[in-house]
Amino acid sequence: MSEAAPAEKEKAPAVPALTEDERREYESDMDSLHILPLSIVPFELSGLKRARMIKNVRLETVIEMFKDDSAGSGQVRVEDAAKLFGIPEKEPHPDIIKLKRLAALNSYDVYTLRVELRNVGVVVNDFEQLKLSRSKNDELTAYMRDFTRPLISQVYADSDTSLTDVSQIIDMFKNPDRGQAMENLKKLASTLNVALPEIPRFLEDYGDIFLSLAYFKNCLDTIVPSIMDFIESMEDLRGNFQLKHDRNLVETSLFIENTLNNVTASITGRFESFHRHSNEMWSNINAESFSRVKRLISSHHSTVGGVLCGLAVKMSLWNERFSDGRGGPQARADFVLSEMRHGIEKIAEVEASAPSVSGR
């Protein structure tokens, strides 16, 4: 008598594939500083799976349940989430606990999330999801060349090799095309006190840490021109014959302007320090000097991300409303006194909380 066939293991339901538009929106969210698609976090409440957590123009953290051109943005405060989902407030629901922890993060860029999600005890469905899109990686190529140049010179001293991304560097070093390059790779492995087969792992670590720096620098370079335009607008407002006697507007605009100038100077100084430390590392490259620079840059992800997130949100909405000369003086003044003023001190507080850049 033949044995009964074993019962077929129940399959998990297939995850619906994203449409092309949904994929583009998801990638745009992951490339941003202020948006966290909640689909990457395991929640019990199904209503959260298509929602996003965002920082609004006042730098308040809210849950965005929907957004479209006709209905606008449907935002819910995290404090009101339990009521929205009909959860009794006697026992803290695990999803509400997660939401509150996520709301406390300074920024939702992928590099801050990699560090801070573990710190606040929130898991994600797949850690591989915490990465930039290919288009954003391509955009960062020019920034990465500054960091890859000293590495290439170590191995290809006389090379004019043209590379477009870190994966090409790793592939090139896995299969060096010249005998001298292989000798130099052996020297690098010896200097780093690692076995030659471990060099690709070092390169991946190197690429990732400096890709994060390239990403943040790209964000800063995008934001700074908007800040300069905004400050010029503030000078125009204070000189306007109808508004120049409005003491509240004058004082508020000066406060915002000074805050933006101070924060921008401070964070620019941090980037200069990162560059200095990375250059010093290559003058005496070894396992410890690389670890020290890696720790230094990683320790700044949360505060750099937080400052840039705040600046990006503020400048983005200002540009959306008033770029290209749109909006009269009174409309601009009202916006400054309401949306621009509220939350601006949070940016300064995050910058002030940054760790030392000594790298020691």
**Amino acid sitting at position 286:** N
Q: Which amino acid is at 183?
A: E
Q: Which amino acid is at 342?
A: H
Q: How far apart are CA 18 and CA 320, in angstroms?
A: 28
User: What is the C-alpha radius of gyration for the chain, rounded to an integer number of angstroms?
Assistant: 24
Residues 50-100 pLDDT 10s: 899 999 999 999 999 988 877 678 889 998 988 888 887 777 899 999 999
Q: Are strands 35-37 and 72-77 parallel, antiparallel or unpaired?
A: unpaired
Domain extents in the chain: 20-131, 133-360
**Residue type, position 74, single letter:** G
Closest to 101 (Cα-Cα) out of 86, 123, 125: 123
Each residue's pLDDT tens digit in the chain (360 positions)? Answer: 444 444 443 333 333 466 888 888 999 999 999 999 999 999 998 889 889 999 999 999 999 998 887 767 888 999 898 888 888 777 789 999 999 999 999 999 999 999 899 888 898 888 888 999 999 988 998 888 888 788 777 777 655 556 555 566 667 666 666 677 778 888 888 888 888 888 888 888 888 899 999 999 999 999 999 999 999 999 999 999 999 999 999 999 999 999 999 999 999 999 999 999 998 998 888 889 999 999 999 999 999 999 999 999 999 999 999 988 899 999 999 999 999 999 999 999 999 999 988 754
Report whether 312 contacts 223 (CB < 8 A): yes
